[in-house]
Structure 1
């Protein structure tokens, strides 16, 4: 993890808190139980179940530390319910690709929450960088690795 803030929506913050609670209250005790059962099988030097349980325990503890670190560096961005004037992190933006003439809606979130399958894009993506600070009606070029393309913002929520 870096020392910079981790940008999260209120929804993303709650998801991380829920994951941490689940890991601590459910997964960790389950892994401890698996370790106890594996130890009871005898010789630990050739006990695959014990090795697997120890590896699982290490993974769970690492994830708990990772989530705790993210929560300690979290910077919450507010979802704006008022009439949005410009694109910012936490807004949903509908835009038209000038190449395909199709509309698309994306929500700009922090990198941790980005999920292209839910149309949530990272504020660090080329598309989001091009849109940040723009208003309805603005056209801009999105520069990416392949070839740049132009879009026009139609709506900001």
Structure 2
């Protein structure tokens, strides 16, 4: 897996693990017990739904714990005039004559539908460390690349974004 995580990501993941172990696990076990007590398990939908929820919770805990074991910690610090983690960057696409805003995040918080792009994506790698006015090349693959111009950098800091599912 080898996810790149910030210290804030690690803390958020640990909080979710703790919540799932201490709260969700107990609720799920209790729901299975209640459904089992209703009798015939062969036609007991509540029992199967409770077991499924319990298993999904346990799977999510394993997934998050494995992510923490294999993660690489990256710094979320950057200079005031450079693009860094959790910055909102306004860029101009030369090819399309369009302006877009993106927030650079770690891959576990990435969501292209909300314009949160990973620092491991082609655009993220191209933008990181550059300044307003820089023209950067986004290399998609060996045969195709395009250019962006950085128009502005907004140093807003980290928001409370969800960690992606699996």
1:20 aligns to 2:17 (yes or no): yes
Q: Which residue of 1 aligns with 2:107?
A: 111
Report whether the alignment pairs 1:31 with 2:46: no
Q: CA RMSD in A?
A: 2.7
For 1:49 and 1:28, the matched residues in 2 are separated by 17
Paired with 2:113 and 2:9, the residues of 1 have a C-alpha distance of 16
Number of residue pairs aligned between Structure 1 and Structure 2: 151
Following superposition, the deviation at residue 143 of structure 1 comes to: 4.7
Are residues 1:49 and 2:46 paired?
Answer: yes
Deviation at 1:45, TM superposition (A): 2.7
| TM-score (normalised: structure 2) | 0.73
When residues 93 and 76 of structure 1 are mapped into structure 2, their CA distance, relative to the original with a 3 A threshold, is farther
In structure 1, stretches of 5+ residues that fail to align are none
Residue 79 of structure 2 corresponds to residue 79 of structure 1:
no
Partner of 2:138: 142
CA pair 16-118 structure 1, distance change in 2 beyond 3 A: farther
Kindly indicate whether the alpha-carbon contact (under 8 Å) linking 1:96 and 1:153 is maintained by their aligned counterparts in 2. Answer: yes
TM-score (norm. length: structure 1):
0.77
